[in-house]
Amino acid sequence: MRFFRKMAALAAALMLMLTTTANADASRTFFAMDTVMAVSVPDAGEALLSACEDEARRLEALFSVTQPDSEIARLNTDGTVRLSGETETVLTCALEVADLTGGALDVTLYPVVRAWGFTTGDYRVPDDGELSALMERVGWEQVVIVDGAARVPQGVMVDLGAVAKGYASDRLAALLREGGVSSALIDLGGNIYCVGAKQNGRPWRIGIRDPKETADYVGALSVTDRAVVTSGSYERYFTAEDGTVYGHIFDPATGRPAASGILSVTVVGECGLLCDALSTALYVMGVDRACALLGARADVDAILVGDDGALWVTEGLRGAFEPMGPYRQATIHWIGEE
């Protein structure tokens, strides 16, 4: 009898080993919000991964500027729309960050970005006349939210592209936690959310892409339960006939691609939505204004890569950020250092 018990125990151990391995990298890759999304959850069932995919598509249907039935598309065509609680949350956060950053994030830039061809791939440089006419339609202060309804003047268009993925990462993380998941990695096109720590209890190790050599890394970031969002113009850009390179992050003050001296901004925090909004805004603000804002906040950390190769890193990431390659020799300015 004892013999059979031992046999059964060993067989069970063997089975457990094999099933654990089979589930070890349960993941789902799908397209939504104009990017590739991947959710990796150790030991997750298909149902939970499907729920994540459905959730991303549900949010896309709310926020999309191109799906005609979305709340944002209806706001842009009708000038007013009743907002769901979620769209109101996202739009309100975007407007608060616009206010906080002196308009460095502006959700009404869409007509300008579209004229440059970044929404279609049909790139061109608008002339000054066209640009100044389009800039008449830009200004986040023109978006009004009253009693759950949003309103914009005719011609003003809202695009939540700079914040939607951040909110989606928060929602997917919440969905997984509600499903009992304590360890997962959400990658929404380089917009990362780490749920908990790795299964072995160690922090997640996130590579920060080098904006100059995109196959390399600025460094590694060790984080637990944090969103890690990077903005840079190195992926979406075009080269005009005169050789000038134009990136996809725009300065709302000029209606032209931002040239602030920053090549990339990585923001780390508990709220993916806030990190996403700030990463775009800080990129536009430039080093001095970005450092002033970051030095006054305790809820986010950041890494700025300057066009001279120098790094600006908040004190909160000391010990968590490890520069790599040529950045080991880079000057690191610590933000918030006494």
Closer residue to another protein, CB minimum distance, 59 or 228:
228
Residue 200 C-beta: closest distance to another protein, Å: 11
Residue 231 C-beta: closest distance to another protein, Å: 9
Exposure of 157 by Cβ count < 10 A (0-12 exposed, 13-18 middle, 19+ buried)?
Answer: buried
Residue 6 C-beta: closest distance to another protein, Å: 7
Closest CA to 274 of 104, 68, 138, 97: 97
CA–CA distance, 291 with 282 (Å, rounded to integer): 9
User: 80, 149 in Cβ contact below 8 A?
Assistant: yes
Residue 325 C-beta: closest distance to another protein, Å: 12
Residue 230, strand partner residues: 266
User: 179, 48 in Cβ contact below 8 A?
Assistant: yes
CA–CA distance, 265 with 62 (Å, rounded to integer): 27
Residue 129 C-beta: closest distance to another protein, Å: 26
How are strands ordered across the β-sheet holding 149-151?
80-82, 149-151, 144-146
Residue 187 C-beta: closest distance to another protein, Å: 5
Determine which helix (DSSP H) or strand (DSSP E) holds 53, and give its type and residue range: helix 46-63
- Tell me how crowded residue 53 is: count the other CB atoms within 10 A of its CB: 17
User: 179, 82 in Cβ contact below 8 A?
Assistant: no
- Tell me how crowded residue 44 is: count the other CB atoms within 10 A of its CB: 23
Closer residue to another protein, CB minimum distance, 103 or 272:
272
Residue 239 C-beta: closest distance to another protein, Å: 10
Binding residues vs another protein (CB under 8 A) = 3, 6-7, 10-11, 13-14, 17-18, 21, 28-31, 34-36, 120-122, 185, 187, 190-192, 194, 198, 204-209, 211, 214-215, 217, 220-221, 228-230, 232, 234-236, 264, 266
Closer residue to another protein, CB minimum distance, 73 or 229:
229
Closer residue to another protein, CB minimum distance, 143 or 303:
303
- Tell me how crowded residue 20 is: count the other CB atoms within 10 A of its CB: 12
Closer residue to another protein, CB minimum distance, 11 or 174:
11
Closer residue to another protein, CB minimum distance, 205 or 318:
205
CA–CA distance, 235 with 244 (Å, rounded to integer): 15
Closer residue to another protein, CB minimum distance, 29 or 182:
29
CA–CA distance, 263 with 232 (Å, rounded to integer): 6
**b/e map of 222-232 (b: 16 or more CB within 10 Å)?**
bbeebbbbbbb
Strands 35-40, 184-188: pairing kind = antiparallel
Closer residue to another protein, CB minimum distance, 140 or 204:
204
Residue 218 C-beta: closest distance to another protein, Å: 8
